Chains A and B, each alone.
Chain A
Amino acid sequence: AQSVAQPEDQVNVAEGNPLTVKCTYSVSGNPYLFWYVQYPNRGLQFLLKYITGDNLVKGSYGFEAEFNKSQTSFHLKKPSALVSDSALYFCAVRDDNYGQNFVFGPGTRLSVLP
């Protein structure tokens, strides 16, 4: 079965500093990995995905994520954080052996301090 973990409930970073939001996963087949962001009182919005190809994936708002197969990780990164990046971030995984549904992590709250 597929599963995903986000080991940090909360990440605090100063504006202008690099940020990392961690995600690890477990699948039996090949993983399809997604990051979503949720702003207050809003639905989740797609940020980026890894399906195949280059391990470094670039997405919306300057975010990127690196797929690491040996460490089964898909950490979200941004070189220079903005206060407006403060939100709840979800990692999601689908195992290509288990059909189409994704499993979501518990979410990590990112706070960027001015």
Chain B
Amino acid sequence: NAGVTQTPKFQVLKTGQSMTLQCAQDMNHNSMYWYRQDPGMGLRLIYYSASEGTTDKGEVPNGYNVSRLNKREFSLRLESAAPSQTSVYFCASSEAGDRGNYGYTFGSGTRLTVV
């Protein structure tokens, strides 16, 4: 089925460990996003990529890095995990390159716990 695929679905890290969250979409969307979801705070944008070859910071970028590997793939890396990064992470994609009126298609999320 077409959509956004995230891996892994669950992960437990120790403080200071690193990991990369993977995201791939097969809808030929231009834009991709990484959000984190915390109780009572909704979704907060970490980084986004408006088009292949570009990335920009969102609302909460500290402690994260991203790579837009190609049009399909957008990865999120935690270099040195901290307990404050315990969250559910969602990848999303959109047709919008600039000023589009399209909604987002979301992946099913990665539940990350940092101990």
Q: Which residues of A contact B (CB under 8 A)?
A: 9, 32, 34, 36, 41-46, 49, 51, 90, 96, 99-102, 104-107
Contact B48 A90, beta carbon cutoff 8 Å: no
Report if B53 contacts A (CB, 8 A): no
The one of A34, A46, A99, A106 in contact with B41, judged by C-beta atoms closer than 8 angstroms, is: A106
Prevailing SS type, chain A contact patch? loop
Chain B: CB-nearest residue to A96 = B99
Chain B: CB-nearest residue to A4 = B42
Report if B101 contacts A (CB, 8 A): yes
Q: Mark B88-115, 1 if CB is under 8 A from A, else 0.
A: 0010101011111101111111000000
Report if B43 contacts A (CB, 8 A): yes
Q: A9 with B42: in contact, given A34-B103, A102-B104 (CB under 8 Å)?
A: no
Q: A32 with B45: in contact, given A100-B50, A100-B96, A101-B58 (CB under 8 Å)?
A: no
Chain B: CB-nearest residue to A46 = B103
Interface size class of B (residues with CB under 8 A): 20 to 34
Q: A43 with B4: in contact, given A100-B98, A101-B48 (CB under 8 Å)?
A: yes
Chain A: CB-nearest residue to B58 = A101
Question: CA–CA, A107 to B35, complex, Å?
Answer: 14
Residues of chain B within 8 A of A42, CB atoms compared: 108-109
B112, chain A: closest CB distance, angstroms: 14
Question: CA–CA, A45 to B103, complex, Å?
Answer: 10
Q: A106 with B40: in contact, given A43-B90, A44-B90 (CB under 8 Å)?
A: yes
Residues of chain A within 8 A of B31, CB atoms compared: 100
Chain B: CB-nearest residue to A34 = B103
Contact B90 A107, beta carbon cutoff 8 Å: no
Contact A104 B100, beta carbon cutoff 8 Å: no
Contact A43 B42, beta carbon cutoff 8 Å: no
Residues of chain A within 8 A of B101, CB atoms compared: 32, 49, 51
